[in-house]
Chains A and B, each alone.
Chain A
Amino acid sequence: MRASSLMLRGMSVILVACGAWSALTLAGAARQDASQKSKAGASTRAGGLAAWQQVYSVLTHPRCINCHTATNYPQQGDDRHRHFANVVRGPAGKGVPALQCVTCHQEANADSTGVPGAHNWYLAPLSMKWQDLNDKILSSAEVCRAITDRSKNNNLDGAGLLKHHEEEPLVLWAFQPSRRIDGNLRTLPPLTHEQFVEVTRQWVAAGTPCPQNP
């Protein structure tokens, strides 16, 4: 009896161990499968379009789109109102001689005065407008077409767009916009910078697909 009991106990241990190993193996396989599916999905048109929608959600956040206007002036605030102090675009998107962007916007955020700053503060060119003259945000398809048109986007290919999202100081600023003059933090885009770069990478890997109209 004692021997058979020991044998049964031993078999139970082996069975439990095998079960646990199988469960772990299956779980690992499932994660790997999901990861592979994610990577594979991103390289398909559908996956690329899904990634693009994430990119679009960032581009159309006020921290980004306020300087991608169709008008002669930038916007500010989450309500995207016209920039105060009669600021105008100027010939190069940097304002005019006595009222340049850098008249206020310095190389870094000015926390004590609430003025945002980063290297080379300027307004995106009109070819990169992401809203219309009535301040209505352009559709996902329209923004996508503009951003992938090398005659409009400073001749950037997919790799160039990814690099722009990874390194451009004004893009980086959008994710670290610091405080407003009232001391409250500016709102952030819906993704972190790391997530933004990753979805851009997936979109580029899929061939920068754009949605159909609208």
Chain B
Amino acid sequence: METYKLTVNGQPREVTVDPGTPLLWVLREELKMTGTKYGCGIAACGACTVHLGGVATRSCVVPVSLVGSRPVLTIEAMAEDPVGRAVQDAWVSHDVVQCGYCQSGQIMSAVALLKSTPKPTDVNIEESMGGNLCRCGTYVRIREAIKAASQQLK
């Protein structure tokens, strides 16, 4: 067991865990931040996406020992983020969510895309969101909501 000092959503946090513990389980089990979801556990579905040092990151495969000093942003902080707020508003107005399990990861990826590419094309959206799976098949609404958020942010 080792102790790690993390910055999560702007707050300093300290956890004592096995170095190999994935960031996802540090968030969910140690810090009780359950907005970030466990989907596949192998980075294949995107449900566990957070931002690590500003980069959309699959928290299920990143051991806490490799986080370092990079700040962690999770879905819990998105309402306070201008782009995150716009995406969440668009998600509501487009009634994107069906079962909702994958949506926190979808939103984290959408925010990363819009911060890098404010006016994404369909190809930009399909490529960037291609690693986020939705078993309910809400992909069309996700794409429309991203475009709406992009419009709102201009």
Residue-wise, chain A 104-123 has the 8 Å CB interface mask toward B (1 for contact) of 10111011111101000000
Closest-by-CB residue of B relative to A99 is B131
Closest-by-CB residue of B relative to A107 is B66
For the complex, is B21 an interface residue (Cβ under 8 Å from A)?
Answer: yes
For the complex, is B112 an interface residue (Cβ under 8 Å from A)?
Answer: yes
For the complex, is B116 an interface residue (Cβ under 8 Å from A)?
Answer: yes
Please state if A104 and B66 are interface contacts (CB–CB under 8 Å).
no
Closest-by-CB residue of A relative to B42 is A181
For the complex, is B92 an interface residue (Cβ under 8 Å from A)?
Answer: no
Give CA–CA (A8, B27) in the complex, Å: 89
User: Which of A9-17, A31-39, A80-88, A186-194 is near enough to bind chain B?
Assistant: A80-88
Residue-wise, chain B 45-68 has the 8 Å CB interface mask toward A (1 for contact) of 010010000011110111100101
Q: By DSSP majority rule, is chain A's interface helix, strand, loop, or mixed? A: loop
Please state if B22 and A103 are interface contacts (CB–CB under 8 Å).
no
For the complex, is A96 an interface residue (Cβ under 8 Å from B)?
Answer: yes
Residue-wise, chain B 124-152 has the 8 Å CB interface mask toward A (1 for contact) of 10011111100000000000000000000
Give CA–CA (A90, B116) in the complex, Å: 13
For the complex, is B110 an interface residue (Cβ under 8 Å from A)?
Answer: yes
Contacts A86-B131, A87-B131: A98 and B63 contacting too (C-beta < 8 A)?
no
For the complex, is A171 an interface residue (Cβ under 8 Å from B)?
Answer: no
Residues of A within 8 Å of B, CB-based: how many? 25
Q: How far is the CB of B66 from chain A (nearest CB, A)?
A: 4
* Chain B positions within 8 Å of A102 at CB level: 55, 57
Give CA–CA (A88, B128) in the complex, Å: 9
Give CA–CA (A84, B40) in the complex, Å: 13
Give CA–CA (A85, B109) in the complex, Å: 14
* Chain B positions within 8 Å of A44 at CB level: none
* Chain B positions within 8 Å of A111 at CB level: 20, 63
For the complex, is A214 an interface residue (Cβ under 8 Å from B)?
Answer: no
* Chain B positions within 8 Å of A153 at CB level: none
Please state if B128 and A113 are interface contacts (CB–CB under 8 Å).
no
Contacts A108-B66, A110-B66, A113-B22: A99 and B43 contacting too (C-beta < 8 A)?
no
Contacts A85-B44, A110-B61, A181-B42: A99 and B22 contacting too (C-beta < 8 A)?
no
**In the complex, the 4 A-B pairs of residues with the closest C-beta atoms, listed nearest first:** A112-B20, A86-B130, A97-B116, A98-B109
Can you spell out 15 A-B residue pairs with CB atoms less than 8 angstroms apart? Answer: A85-B131, A86-B131, A97-B124, A98-B128, A99-B109, A103-B58, A103-B131, A111-B63, A112-B20, A112-B63, A113-B22, A113-B62, A113-B63, A115-B43, A115-B61
